[in-house]
Each structure stands twice: as structure tokens, then as C-alpha cells.
Amino acid sequence: MSHEEQLSLFGREPKAEPEVTAMQFETIPTDANVAIPSGTYSDIDALANHCHECQRCGLGATRTHAVVGKGNPKAPIVLIGEGPGQNEDEQGLPFVGRSGELLDKILASVNLTTEEDVYICNVVKCRPPGNRNPNPDEIEACKPYLLEQIRLVDPKMILLTGAVAVKALLNEKRGITKIRGQWFEWENRRCMPIFHPAYLLRNPSREKGKPKWLMWQDMQAVKAKLDELRQAEES
């Protein structure tokens, strides 16, 4: 099954989904050619078990830990990064170290927390050597796990941090500086590309029009949209 076919299973209308046999389920972590249809995993823990033993691409051979995710598994926001760095690989958690500290501050600035509002994960679950960008084969092998994470969390919106995450989910080829802060629709969900915290660390100026200032505008828009959706649910 191609990823395009898998994506078609995300529709809100009930659809007949292929059953995964016990044999197919057991072979998922061993072969990137084995499909992961929507509905394969009952919860995040079951998916994590496969990620921790996964060898669907070469990154599995060099990792210390698979980095699956953190935060509320039923959060209204899923935030997606590109892949683990050294700190993440060592600790088994996404967005730790300086980038993680900055991300926590960014979320807190608009009263969002991982305990309640945000679930964080990456396009690929294992660290690319030297912190390079994941290559297309690695993204392709790991993407079904990401799609299942999104299905299981079932968020109201998705934040895509950096160009790798944007291209992996939206297949958008324009640079992040051109599309950050814009709302896109993907599988009936609102998605917004935002700057990666690592980029903000390299561009620390808070002047108007600079990346940190733009990020503040984007996060205010995210919080306003979340409040709007919550109010609509309550009314």
C-alpha cells in the first residue's frame, strides 16, 4: 500500500479498512515494504513498542533510543519536528536540550503545555548520523508511524516545525520563510508551518520582522484558533 492510499483511510466517513494479520503485524518493524494501514495500532504504546525494535531503514542500526513522542496523547495540537538530535537520541524524548527548552518557553508564552495541549513527535523516530536531514527513503519508511500517531491523537491542528516536516506531510516545496504562519488543510485538519526552535537559536533577535518576532505572531494565531475551536465545541 502506498502512503497516498494510506492517507485516503484518514477520511471522516466510515470505510472498510484492510485487516492486518498477526504475521503482517509482526513483520512491520522489519521491512519498509510491509504496509501499516490506518487502524493498525490500538494506542500509542503499541506503536512505540514497534518503533523501539524497528529496522525499517538503516537508522535503526545506529540509534541509541527510538524517539517516539511526548506530551498528552489526546492533545488538540500535534507538533511535528524533523528527527532526533544527539540529546534526543540519548534520552529517548523529542525536543530536549536547548531547542526543547526554547520550545517549552514558546508554548508557555501562549499558555500551552505538553501536559494538556500538545503532543510532540518527529517525522523520523531515529537520529540521522551527524544530525543530517533524514533522506527520502528514511522518511518513507517511518512515515506510516507518523500517520498512525496523528490518527491516534486525533488533533484539531498540526504544527510543522521546519522544512522537513512541511515537505513530509504537505509535500510543500516552498521554503519555510515563505509559508510560515499560513493555515493549510490536510486530511480535514488545520496545519501551520512554523520555524524550528533551532533556527530561532541561530537568529536570536526579537526585532519586528525577525524570526523570533514572527514566531510570536504565529503562536498567538495558533492559540486564538484553538480557543475558537474549543468555544465552538462548548456552544
pLDDT tens for the 235 residues of the chain, in order: 545 555 544 454 545 566 788 889 999 999 999 999 999 999 999 999 999 999 999 999 999 999 999 999 999 999 999 999 999 999 999 999 899 999 999 999 999 999 999 999 999 999 999 989 999 999 999 999 999 999 999 999 999 999 999 999 999 989 999 999 999 999 999 999 999 999 999 999 999 999 999 999 999 999 999 999 999 988 7
Chain-centre distance of CA 185, in angstroms? 15
Work out whether strand 118-122 and strand 157-161 pair parallel, antiparallel, or are unpaired: unpaired
Task: Render pLDDT for 183-199 as a digit per residue (tens, 0 to 9).
Answer: 999 999 999 999 999 99
Residue 23 has a pLDDT of 86
Distance CA 179, CA 192 (A): 8
Q: Which residue has the cell 540519548?
A: 90
Residue 149 has a pLDDT of 98
Residue 9 has a pLDDT of 46
Structural domain spans, the chain: 3-234
Strands (DSSP E) contained in the chain are 70-71, 77-81, 118-122, 157-161, 184-186, 189-194
The whole-model pTM stands at 0.91
Amino acid code (one letter) for 147: L
Amino acid code (one letter) for 80: I
SS3 146: helix
Chain-centre distance of CA 56, in angstroms? 18
C-alpha cell at 200: 530561532
CATH number for 3-234 (one of 3.30.420.40, 3.40.470.10, 1.20.1070.10, 1.25.10.10): it is 3.40.470.10
